[in-house]
Structure 1
Amino acid sequence: MKKLNVVILAAGKGERMVSKRPKVMHEIMGRPMIRYVVERAQELSPARIIVVVGYGREKVEEYLRPHPVTCATQKAQKGTAHALLSAGKFIDGGDVLVLYGDVPIIEKETLRDFLAFYEKTQCITFMTTDVPDPGGYGRVIMSGDDILAIREHIDATPKEREINRINTGICIIPSKSFPLLRSITADNKKGEYYLTDICKVGRQKGQGIKGYNHKDAREVLGINTRKELLEANEIMRQRVIGQHMQKGVTVLDRNVYIENGVKIGMDTTIFPNCYLHGDTVIGSDVVIGPNVVVKDSVIHDNVIIEGFVIIEGAEIKEGAKIGPFSRLRPGTSIGKGARIGNFVEVKNSRIDRDARAGHLAYIGDAEIGKNVNIGAGTITCNFDGIKKHRTVIGDNVLVGSNTELVAPVKIGRDAVIGAGSTITEDVPGGALALTRTRQKHVPGYRRKKRCAE
C-alpha cells in the first residue's frame, strides 16, 4: 500500500460518561482506551500517527508522550471534519485512515480487511455496520456498496431513521480527496462540520464513495457511557482469556481478570476469581489458586500459589510455595523452594532458598538465609518510630515461635532462638539465644472471689 497516515480523533469530552476525565483516558482492562487504538494503528506501519486532542489534552498528551505519535490540538470542538483538519498540518501527502480514540476493541484483522477493500476501490470509504436499534447514529443510505449519503440522526427524515445500517465513523480518505474537507459547511441543526459530509461534497465533484460493512457492531462502535465501558471491558476480558488459553494456559473458570500486558507461561493453571494486574510475568507449570491477586510481580516456573494470597511488586523463584492467606508486599524476593504459609506477611525482604515461614509471622525489611525456619508468631520489629531497620538472619537458623527480632539485629548462621524470646542484640553463629524469664509456680494459690460473690 502507498503512504498511509493514521489520524485518531480523541478530542471529545464524553458528556455521557459523567466524568472529569477525558473520555479516551477511561480504562479497559487496566489501560486507557486510547492506548489500544494507538497499538492497532502501529500494527499497520503507517508513515505517521496523529492524535487529535482537545478536552483534557494535557492528560492525554502526557500519557501518549512515550508512544510514537504526534498530537494535534482541536481548540474548539466544531465537529469531526474540523477535528480532522486540525491534523492537516502534520500530513505530508498520502492517504488518511481515520480512527477514533473511543473505539478500543477493534481488531487488527478488521482494519487490514478494511484497507484491502479500499485498495480495490481507491476512493473515499466508510466502515458501516448494522444494529437493531440505530437511534442516535448516522444512517447510511446505500446502493450496493456505493454510499449515496450519510445522514446524522438529528437531520434524518422519519423514513431514513428506519434504516439499520449506520456509520461507525471509521473511514479512509485518499490523498487526492483530503482537500474536500475544506468545502464542508456547518449547514445542519448542530452547526458542526460533519466528516460524513465529505460524501456529499465528493459526489458533487464526481468522486465515488464506498461502504465497507463490518458484521460485529460491538467491535467498531464507540464507548459513550459507563454501561458501554463495562461491556467493552467484558469483551476485552474474554478476548484476553482466550488468547492465553490458545497459548497453553488452563483457565478453570471465565471469572478471572487478566490485564492485557500480563504474560503467562504454558501449562500454568488459573483458578477462579483471580486478578492478575500490571507488569506481571508468570512462568510455566505454575498453579494460581482461587481468589489470588497478583500485581507487578514475577513468578517463576513450578510455583504454587494457594488461595487468598495478595502479591504486589514481588519475585517468587522456582519451586516456591505461597499461601493460603499470605501477603507479599513490594520489594520481596522469595527464593527457590521456599515456603511462605498462612497469615504470613513479607515486606521488602529477601527470603533465600528453602527457607520457611509456615504461619502467623511478619517479616519486614529482612534478609533470611538458606534453610531458615521462622516459627509461628515471629515478627521483625523493623520500625523505631522514625525510620526502618533491617534484620539479617544467616543460613540454617531456627527461630522459635513467638519471637520478636528488634532491628537492627543480626543472627549468625546455625544459631537457635528459643521460643518466646525478644532479641535486641546480635546473636553469634551456632549460639542458643534465650531471653524469656524462668517459669515460676506459687503453691496453694487460689483465685480471689469476685466482689459480687
Structure 2
Amino acid sequence: MQGPVSSLEIIILAAGQGRRMASAKPKVLHTLAGRPLLAHVLDTAMALAPRAIHVVYGHGGEQVREAFPGPALNWVLQAEQRGTGDAVGCALPRLAEDTLALVLLGDVPLITKDTLKTLCARAAAGVALLTFEAAHENQYGRIVRDDEGRVMRIVEWRDADRAQRALREVNSGVLAAPAAHLRRYIPRLSAANAQGEIYLTDVIALAVADGLAVATTSPRCASEVEGVNSRADLAALERVFQEQQAAAQMAAGVQLMDPRRFDVRGTLTAGRDVQIDVNCVFEGRVELADDVRIGAHCVIRDSRIARGARIEAHTVIDGAEVGPDCVVGPFARLRPGTVLDGRARVGNFVEIKAARVGMGTKINHLSYVGDAMIGQGVNIGAGVITCNYDGAQKHRTVIGDRAFIGSDSQLVAPVEIGADATIGAGSTVTRDAPAGELTLSRAVQKTVSGWRRPEKPARPDKE
C-alpha cells in the first residue's frame, strides 16, 4: 500500500491537434474571452496552489511553450499522440512519490477551483472521477456501475454497445488519484480498442479489480466540463463565459441594457450605478467608477473611466484615463497615453494620442491631437491637427490655458501656444504664438473676375 499523500501536483493534457478546428494553430491556443484556452485552465490550476504543474504538449508544441514563458511550468513532451493514458505516463516520472495527481484537460476552460477541490478531497484513498449527466447524446465515455451503484469501469463511446451508450452518466476526462496508483496501472494499459489508443480511463477497471474505491463528484453545471473540439464549441462556451460575466456585473449593481450583448475579455471593475449599452467590449484591465455611462458599440481596453463620465456610442478607448464628468464621443478614439482631466469634452471623429487634456477643454469634432499638453478651458475647433511627426521624430505641442484654436489650423510641432492666445481659423502655425495675442497665417483672399470653370467636352451620344 502507498504512504500518505502530502501534496498536489497537476498534469494538464495539451498535446491534441484539434483537427475539427480546421486551424494551423494548436487547439489550446485558440482564445476564449480574448485569452488562450490553456490560460484559463492554468489560472484555475494555480488557484489550487499545487507543488507543480506539468503541461503535456505535442502538436505545435513550441508555439504552446512560447505562449507561456517563464519557469512556473514543467513542460513534458508527448512526441507521438498515443492517447490520454500515454500522455499522463509521459508526465509521471516528474511527479513526487507522495503526491496526489490531478489530471486536467487544456481544452476545458471553465472548470472551477471549488469543483476541483471537492474532487481532490475524494481521491486521497483511491481514485476520484468528475462525472456529469449528459443532457443529450454525445460521444463521452460512459460510467458503468454495478447494481449497488459502485463504479466498475469507463467504456469509451466507440467501444460501447447500445445499452452502454444509453447510460446518461458520462466521464469528463478529469481525474484525481495518488501518483503511486497511476504508476502501478498506466504501464499495464493497452491500445486494444476501437481507436487504437492508450486510454487513461482504463485505469478505473484496474483499480476496481485491486479493490480500490472509485469516488465520483459532479460540477455545479455541465458547462464547467464542456470541452472545445470545434469552432462551434468555442463560440458556445464564449457565450456561457460572457453570461457569467454579465450576471456577476449585474449582481454588483451594473445596469446592462442587454446582458446577451456584452463582452469582457479581461477584467472589468465597475462602481455603483454604472450603465452599459449594447455590444460593448472590455479588454485587458478596465475600471469604471460610479455613475459612468457607456454608449452602444464601444470598445474600451486597459483604461480607467472616472466618476460621472459619459462615453458616447462607437467610441474606442485604449490605454487612456478619462477624468470625472468628461464626455467622449460619439465616434471618438483615445489612444495610449491619453489623459483627460475633469469635464473635458472630446467629440465625434476626434483622435487623441499621448496627450493630456486639461479640465474643461473642448475638442468637439474632426481633430487630431498627438504628443501634446493642453491646458484648462481651451477650445480647439473643427479640423485642427497637431503635426507631431516629421518623418523621423515625434515632437510636442503645448497649448496654454484658455487658448482658442480656430478651425482647420495646423500646429507644427515643436510649438507652444501661450495662455489666452487665439489662433485664427485656417492658420498653419510653425513658431510659438505669444500669450493673449491673435496669431494667424493666411494667403490674401482674392476674386478672379470672369474666370470660368473648365467644362467637359460634349459627347456625341448626348447631343
TM over 0.5: same fold? yes
The residue type equivalent to 2:200 in the other structure is L
Aligned pair partner of 2:381 in 375, 391, 414? 375
For 2:302 and 2:21, locate their aligned partners in 1 and report how far apart those are by CA, in whole Å.
Answer: 29
- 2:115–2:220: 8 Å Cα contact kept in structure 1? no
For 1:236 and 1:284, locate their aligned partners in 2 and report how far apart those are by CA, in whole Å.
Answer: 25
- 2:92–2:179: 8 Å Cα contact kept in structure 1? no
1:223 Cα deviation after fit? 1.0
For 1:316 and 1:215, locate their aligned partners in 2 and report how far apart those are by CA, in whole Å.
Answer: 40
The residue type equivalent to 2:329 in the other structure is G
1:364 aligns with 2:350: no
1:374 Cα deviation after fit? 0.5
Secondary structure of 1:140's counterpart equals: strand
- 1:416–1:432: 8 Å Cα contact kept in structure 2? yes
Match of 2:217 in 1: 212
Aligned pair partner of 1:244 in 235, 245, 249? 249
Secondary structure of 2:364's counterpart equals: strand
Match of 1:425 in 2: 431
Aligned pair partner of 1:155 in 154, 159, 173? 159
1:38 Cα deviation after fit? 1.3
The residue type equivalent to 2:297 in the other structure is N
Q: 1:429 to 1:75 in 2, by over 3 A?
A: same
- 2:115–2:218: 8 Å Cα contact kept in structure 1? no
- 2:120–2:128: 8 Å Cα contact kept in structure 1? no
Aligned pair partner of 2:30 in 12, 26, 29? 26
Residues 320-348 of structure 1, C-alpha deviations (whole Å, 9 max, x = no match) = 21111211122222222211112211122
For 2:388 and 2:257, locate their aligned partners in 1 and report how far apart those are by CA, in whole Å.
Answer: 40
Q: Which runs of structure 2 are paired with 1:6-405 in the superposition (5 Å)?
A: 6-66=10-70, 68-92=72-96, 93-118=98-123, 122-143=125-146, 144-179=148-183, 180-214=185-219, 216-254=221-259, 255-405=261-411
Q: Choose 146-155 or 234-243, whichever is displaced more.
A: 146-155
The residue type equivalent to 1:140 in the other structure is I
Secondary structure of 1:148's counterpart equals: strand
1:238 Cα deviation after fit? 0.6
The residue type equivalent to 1:9 in the other structure is L
Residues 233-257 of structure 1, C-alpha deviations (whole Å, 9 max, x = no match) = 0000111111122222221211111
For 1:214 and 1:427, locate their aligned partners in 2 and report how far apart those are by CA, in whole Å.
Answer: 69
The root-mean-square deviation of aligned C-alpha atoms, in Å, is 2.3
- 1:105–1:220: 8 Å Cα contact kept in structure 2? yes
- 2:266–2:282: 8 Å Cα contact kept in structure 1? no
1:370 Cα deviation after fit? 1.9
- 1:316–1:335: 8 Å Cα contact kept in structure 2? yes
Secondary structure of 2:307's counterpart equals: coil
Residues 134-191 of structure 1, C-alpha deviations (whole Å, 9 max, x = no match) = 4422111113542111111222223322222211111111244122222222222322
- 1:240–1:260: 8 Å Cα contact kept in structure 2? no
Q: Choose 191-200 or 207-216, whichever is displaced more.
A: 207-216
1:408 aligns with 2:414: yes
The residue type equivalent to 1:59 in the other structure is Q
- 1:168–1:220: 8 Å Cα contact kept in structure 2? yes
Secondary structure of 2:245's counterpart equals: helix
Show structure 1 runs of 5+ residues with no match: none
- 2:316–2:332: 8 Å Cα contact kept in structure 1? yes
- 2:254–2:272: 8 Å Cα contact kept in structure 1? yes
Could you tell me the percent identity over the aligned residues?
Answer: 39
Q: 1:134 to 1:2 in 2, by over 3 A?
A: farther
For 1:35 and 1:253, locate their aligned partners in 2 and report how far apart those are by CA, in whole Å.
Answer: 28
Count of residues in correspondence between the two structures: 450
Secondary structure of 1:280's counterpart equals: strand
Secondary structure of 1:187's counterpart equals: coil
Q: Choose 285-294 or 429-438, whichever is displaced more.
A: 429-438
For 1:395 and 1:345, locate their aligned partners in 2 and report how far apart those are by CA, in whole Å.
Answer: 21
Secondary structure of 1:228's counterpart equals: helix
Q: TM-score, normalised by structure 1?
A: 0.92
For 1:3 and 1:382, locate their aligned partners in 2 and report how far apart those are by CA, in whole Å.
Answer: 58
For 2:453 and 2:281, locate their aligned partners in 1 and report how far apart those are by CA, in whole Å.
Answer: 55
1:406 Cα deviation after fit? 2.0
Q: 1:392 to 1:129 in 2, by over 3 A?
A: same
Q: 1:66 to 1:234 in 2, by over 3 A?
A: farther
For 1:440 and 1:198, locate their aligned partners in 2 and report how far apart those are by CA, in whole Å.
Answer: 93
Show structure 2 runs of 5+ residues with no match: none
Q: 1:7 to 1:449 in 2, by over 3 A?
A: closer
1:267 Cα deviation after fit? 2.3
Residues 426-450 of structure 1, C-alpha deviations (whole Å, 9 max, x = no match) = 11222210212454467x8686897
Q: 1:362 to 1:175 in 2, by over 3 A?
A: closer
- 1:130–1:215: 8 Å Cα contact kept in structure 2? no
For 2:108 and 2:13, locate their aligned partners in 1 and report how far apart those are by CA, in whole Å.
Answer: 10
Q: Choose 278-287 or 333-342, whichever is displaced more.
A: 278-287
- 1:145–1:211: 8 Å Cα contact kept in structure 2? no
1:281 Cα deviation after fit? 2.5
Q: Choose 106-115 or 241-250, whichever is displaced more.
A: 106-115
The residue type equivalent to 2:357 in the other structure is I
For 1:284 and 1:46, locate their aligned partners in 2 and report how far apart those are by CA, in whole Å.
Answer: 38
1:64 Cα deviation after fit? 2.4
